[in-house]
Structure formats: structure tokens, C-alpha cells
Amino acid sequence: MNIIYHCYGGAHSSVTAASLHLGWLPTDRLPTDQELKALPYFDRPIGKDHGNIRFMGKDEFNNEIYVLGRRNESKVFENMATGLLEVFGVSSNDYQFINVMPYVNWKMVVGGFSSRKLLITPIGRPIILAGVKYAYWQIVSLVQSVKICIASNNSIRATTVEE
């Protein structure tokens, strides 16, 4: 199965969720700033990267884990991708889209805008880190729900929260 964690920019919440899914971040404590900053793509993608699906790794079930920044078009992205996959004969059992945007808070928005759009990373990144840590346990819960659904072969779609 291919699992795509998606959010606005593909730089913070989706990267955190995918990294949790892959076991790169702790689930028993908050990560350090250094652990978050060391993640692939964390606070790195920029506007021109939106729409690019980025491979993160394979999980313990051999599922491929991806991240995507898709701006504000969650339903448009999911509908378009689902339609394309259907056209090419890909079963809906072969992929899942996980929307991480509901867990984004104002610190992540302000910090991300400052760091990625305004390129004031020394100011934006500490705000982002605080925002990710503020939402961390919610993202942990989401990822754990996804993994439980995978392990029991249930649909993941019921575990996500709508924007």
C-alpha cells in the first residue's frame, strides 16, 4: 500500500506524521528541536515544491510512505488522484491519503510563512518547532490510528479528520 500524508506545504505536519509512521520520532516523549530539524524535508520545501509527492521510506508492513504539500486543495487533490488511479486500474486498496492539515495550528502557519515564504528562517523555525510540539500528541494519535487500521486491514479513511 502507498500512504500519502498531506498538508498545506508538505514541510511540517505531514513530514512529522510520516516520520512518526516510519518510527523516526519518539511516541513516548516530545522530540527535541534537533530531532525535528534532522527529518528529511522538515522546513525545507518551498512553493514550487507544492504538488510533488516525496518518498519518505517503507514502514514495517512494507508500505511506502510519502508526503505532499497541496496548499488548500485537500478534496481537489484526493478526488483528482483517486480519479487518475481509477483510470489506470489501481485499486483503492493500494493507496490511502491522510490529511494532516486539521492538526496544523497558528504557530505552524505563522512560523511556516516566516520561514518558507518570507525566508526569515531564524525567526520562523523556532515558532514552527513550538507549533509542531504543541500538536505532536494529536499527530501521534492520528498515526497510531492509521497503523492500527493497516494492521487490521481496515480502511484508513475513517480515521482522518476533515478540514
N residues, the chain: 163
Mean pLDDT for the chain overall? 87
DSSP state string for 9-70: SSSSHHHHHHHHHTT-S-SSSPPPHHHHHTSTTTT---GGGTT-EEEEEE-TT--EEEEEE-
Give the pLDDT confidence score for residue 135 in this predicted structure. Answer: 97
Q: What are the residue ranges in the chain where pLDDT is below 50?
A: 158-159, 161-163
> What residue type is 102 in one-letter code?
P
Give the pLDDT confidence score for residue 46 in this predicted structure. Answer: 62
Give the pLDDT confidence score for residue 79 in this predicted structure. Answer: 77
Give the pTM: 0.86
Give the pLDDT confidence score for residue 154 in this predicted structure. Answer: 59
Q: Are 72 and 85 in contact (CB under 8 A)?
A: no
Contacts of residue 99, Cβ cutoff 8 Å, sequence gap at least 6: 6, 7, 74, 78, 160, 161, 162, 163
Report how far residue 126's alpha carbon sits from residue 121's, in angstroms, rounded to the nearest whole number: 8
Report how far residue 94's alpha carbon sits from residue 1's, in angstroms, rounded to the nearest whole number: 4
